[in-house]
């Protein structure tokens, strides 16, 4: 049958709520903040926030669709930044070596998360809460031990700087970070992986009913490991790019990514208990979050109100998403 265009058909998609939310906040800040935040400088401010968050939010969202949570990303961001800074800055080694080592370590931590989740009956929230603290401890302990400081500087030049942590020339008045390109590429790759390749189907089946999924022959354990590796390396990648972008790394400061990624994912229409969601929804959810986060600077409101807006937005988004999901469930095509 053909998927003809209809309003109802669009509303039944997982990203419907996120899309409406984005339109709503754009209108809201268009009225109260003027058009400044839609001009290149304004747009790059929220696109930069969205890109840094979005690279993490998509794998976190996929884990949620598969019925798991990963909050250790909050430690993986400073981990990625600090590992890169110590190797390339403090020890003055090649930045490429730093990149390879950073991502390899992150891969190992992702494997540890995945292994602990599939080998023990402990919920992934608790497992990753454990690794969150463990990795924070390692980062703080090792940094003080090696660099005798909680902040490490580095200087990157050449192609690595341009690829991972510089401002993109010309477009948007040169205020867009290169990570935005990574985010767009990653989002496109995830759309293919989740919604077009057959493995995407496995993620939804796992979140719907893990035992049935395994009985249907889906390699649920391998997929779980893969998703935890994706979220750990993505978070470390973002930290690494930030260190290269800002020429320094701090031991703390990743925690905001935990809640912010979960908020983006939930606004994006992913069901907290798994089995339902979309990459496009998470993408819109992340932009919505970033617009509120940055848009507030363009209004006369005090910065502190943005948390209130995000809270209200989250609740409205969840209610809308519940409604749309019910519509999708009860939808039966009219008899011809």
Binding site for other proteins (CB under 8 A): 1, 3, 196-198, 200-202, 204-205, 208-209, 211-213, 215-218, 271, 275-276, 325, 328-333
For other proteins, which is the closer residue by CB, 1 or 7?
1
Q: Which residues contact 280 (CB under 8 A, 6 or more apart)?
A: 15, 18, 191
For other proteins, which is the closer residue by CB, 22 or 218?
218
Tell me the DSSP string of 159-188.
HHHHHHSSBPSSGGGG--BTHHHHHHHHHH
- How far CA 68 is from CA of 115, 141, 275, in Å, comes to 13, 29, 10
**Residue 277 contacts residue 271 (beta carbons within 8 Å):** yes
Minimum Å distance from CB 333 to other proteins?
Answer: 5
Minimum Å distance from CB 236 to other proteins?
Answer: 25
DSSP 8-state class, residue 1: -
**Residue 290 contacts residue 49 (beta carbons within 8 Å):** yes
Minimum Å distance from CB 201 to other proteins?
Answer: 5
Q: What is the 3-state secondary structure (H, E, C) of 210-228?
A: HHHHHHCCCCHHHHHHHHH
Tell me the DSSP string of 65-107.
HTT----THHHHHHHHHHHHHIIIIIS---HHHHHHHHHHHHH
Minimum Å distance from CB 280 to other proteins?
Answer: 16
- 20-43 core/surface letters (b: 16 or more CB in 10 A; e: else): bbbebbbebbeeebeeebbeeebb
For other proteins, which is the closer residue by CB, 303 or 331?
331
For other proteins, which is the closer residue by CB, 219 or 253?
219
For other proteins, which is the closer residue by CB, 23 or 216?
216
For other proteins, which is the closer residue by CB, 201 or 248?
201
- 210-232 core/surface letters (b: 16 or more CB in 10 A; e: else): beebeeeebebeebbbbbbbbbb
Minimum Å distance from CB 48 to other proteins?
Answer: 31
Minimum Å distance from CB 96 to other proteins?
Answer: 26
Q: Any idea which residue has 């980062």 for tokens?
A: 139
Neighbours of 80 (CB within 10 A): 30
For other proteins, which is the closer residue by CB, 67 or 74?
67
Minimum Å distance from CB 63 to other proteins?
Answer: 16
φ and ψ of 153, to 5 deg: -95, 155
* Burial degree of 326 (CB within 10 A; 0-12, 13-18, 19+): exposed
Minimum Å distance from CB 335 to other proteins?
Answer: 9
- Strand-strand pairing, 248-250 and 151-153: antiparallel
Q: What is the spatial distance between Cα 33 and Cα 36, in angstroms, rounded to a whole number? A: 7
Minimum Å distance from CB 269 to other proteins?
Answer: 12
For other proteins, which is the closer residue by CB, 90 or 325?
325
For other proteins, which is the closer residue by CB, 87 or 213?
213
């Amino acid at each position: 049958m053909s998927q003809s265009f209809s309003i109802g058909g669009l509303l039944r998609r997982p990203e419907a709520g996120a899309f409406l939310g984005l339109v709503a906040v754009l209108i809201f800040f268009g009225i109260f903040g003027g058009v400044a935040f839609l001009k290149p400088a304004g747009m790059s401010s929220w696109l930069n926030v969205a890109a840094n968050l979005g690279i993490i939010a998509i794998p976190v969202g996929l884990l949620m669709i598969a019925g798991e949570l990963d909050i250790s990303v909050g430690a993986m961001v400073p981990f990625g930044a600090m590992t890169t800074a110590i190797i390339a800055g403090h020890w003055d080694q090649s930045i490429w070596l730093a990149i390879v080592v950073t991502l390899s370590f992150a891969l190992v931590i992702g494997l540890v998360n995945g292994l602990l989740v599939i080998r023990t009956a402990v919920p992934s929230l608790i497992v990753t809460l454990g690794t969150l603290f463990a990795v924070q401890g390692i980062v703080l302990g090792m940094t003080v031990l090696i660099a005798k400081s909680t902040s490490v500087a580095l200087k990157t030049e050449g192609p690595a700087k341009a690829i991972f942590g510089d401002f993109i020339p010309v477009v948007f008045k040169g205020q867009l970070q290169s990570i935005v390109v990574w985010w767009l590429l990653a989002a496109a790759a995830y759309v293919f992986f989740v919604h077009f390749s057959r493995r995407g189907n496995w993620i939804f089946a796992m979140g719907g009913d893990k035992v049935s999924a395994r009985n249907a022959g889906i390699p649920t354990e391998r997929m779980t490991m893969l998703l935890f590796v994706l979220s750990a390396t993505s978070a470390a990648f973002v930290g690494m790019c930030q260190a290269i972008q800002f020429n320094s790394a701090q031991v703390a400061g990743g925690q905001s990514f935990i809640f912010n990624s979960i908020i983006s994912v939930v606004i994006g229409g992913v069901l907290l208990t798994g089995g339902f969601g979309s990459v496009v929804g998470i993408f819109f959810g992340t932009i919505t979050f970033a617009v509120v986060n940055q848009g507030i600077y363009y209004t006369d409101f005090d910065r502190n109100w943005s948390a209130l807006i995000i809270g209200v937005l989250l609740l409205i988004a969840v209610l809308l998403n519940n409604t749309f999901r019910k519509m999708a469930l009860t939808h039966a095509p009219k008899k011809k």
